[in-house]
Amino acid sequence: MSEFALFLGCTIPVRCLGYEASTRRIAEELGIKLVDLNFSCCGYPLKHVDVVTARSMAAANLALAESKGLNILTICSACSGTLTDAKFNLENDPSAEKVKKELEKQGISYKGGIWVKHFVRYLYEDYGVDRIKEHVKVPLKNLRIAIHHGCHYLRPSEIYDEFDDPEHPKSVREIVEALGATVVDYAGELDCCGGGTIAFNQKLGAALAKKKLDNVKRAGADAIVLFCPFCAIMYDGHQRFIEEQFKSGPYNIPVLFLPQLMGLAFGIDPSELGFEYNAVDVQPLLEKIGERK
């Protein structure tokens, strides 16, 4: 059994419990052991304040996993980006001297012996789409899925060893298709959810999210599938707010975390996949899957 440190970040264990629950459940199904360590914030929010401090905090988290001899799987794309960037910076950038000095001051040493990947990247790159397929018991044949990749899963591609094409990504598409669902193309597929803006300007952040909801609605998708807490908060948590703010919709687009969709295809009971935390009603979607049984 493969064993990894699960990096939850700050937002998921507080605001996206359905994501966490479904991730743990499908990991169990796939034989992936997730270990919980006392990680802190990855450092991402501190990038606004001081990039060196942010990277030092990220590196300190890497050091914690390294001390246990575990590679890290993240399920928040911002955490993925921050931890991967810190590792990339320490290994490739002369400006990392400042970070090393900050770590030294607090008696932290990071040698660079571990790797960090988003859980979805790991599933695609290491676990393998074919092996995922072996677990599918309920192919999601009549579901039309709009994939939202989010920003930090793919960009900047330089720090991610270009594991997927940042302009024409295929990793998530292959996983969703392996579940039997149809992937729906829509305009602005790679656009940002606005989550990075909303803390500073709610209306502007919401306007970004609105564009995608409009495009997904037009494309006739049954659901949006994503794998980042901030993106979920924008499309699921803010869907009603956007309708009211912009007099748009009604959208009624269920927003699922990829592990929730995988769980459904694996035949796991929906009650084990944290759907009670979805803001937009998922019942019509579950019934649509049920129709095929």
Partner 1 sequence: MGSVTFMAESETEKLVVETESLDSSFVRKILKHPGGEQILVCFQCGVCTSSCPLRLISPEYNPRRIVKEALLGMKDLVLSSDFIWFCADCNACTERCPQGVNPSEVMKAIKNIAVEEGIAPPAVKKIVENIEEHGRLYPIEDFTQEEREMLDLPEIEPDVEVFKINKKKLLGEKT
DSSP E strands, 172-238: 182-183, 223-226
Other C-beta atoms lying within 10 Å of the C-beta of residue 113: 10
Contact status: 279 vs partner 1 (CB under 8 A): no
Select the span of 19-27, 115-123, 135-143, 261-269 touching partner 1 (CB under 8 A): 19-27
Select the span of 3-11, 115-123, 124-132, 252-260 touching partner 1 (CB under 8 A): 3-11
Contact status: 40 vs partner 1 (CB under 8 A): yes
Cα end-to-end distance, the chain, whole Å: 32
Residue 33 parent element (H or E): strand 32-36
Contact status: 108 vs partner 1 (CB under 8 A): yes
Contact status: 194 vs partner 1 (CB under 8 A): yes
Strands 32-36 and 2-7, how do they pair? parallel
Instruction: With CB under 8 A as the rule, give the number of residues binding partner 1.
Output: 60
Alpha-carbon span 283 to 263, nearest angstrom: 15
Interface characters, 122-151, with partner 1 (x: CB under 8 A): -----------------------------x
Dihedral angle over CA of 205, 18, 140, 188, nearest 10: 10
Token digits of residue 58: 């990220």
Select the span of 131-139, 201-209, 246-254, 262-270 touching partner 1 (CB under 8 A): 201-209
Q: In sequence order, what are the residues at sequence separation of 6 or more whose Cβ sits closer than 8 angstroms to the Cβ of residue 97? A: none
Contact status: 49 vs partner 1 (CB under 8 A): yes
Token digits of residue 250: 């009604």
Kindly tell me which residue out of 14, 131, 141, 218 binds partner 1, with binding defined by CB under 8 A: 14
Dihedral angle over CA of 115, 121, 125, 126, nearest 10: 60
Select the span of 139-147, 176-184, 193-201, 257-265 touching partner 1 (CB under 8 A): 193-201
Using CB under 8 A as the criterion, which residues of the chain lie in contact with partner 1 when the complex forms?
Answer: 8, 10-11, 13-15, 17, 20-21, 24, 36, 38-41, 43, 45-53, 55-57, 60-61, 64, 89, 93, 95, 98, 106, 108, 151-152, 155-157, 166-167, 190-192, 194-197, 199-201, 204-205, 207-208, 211, 274
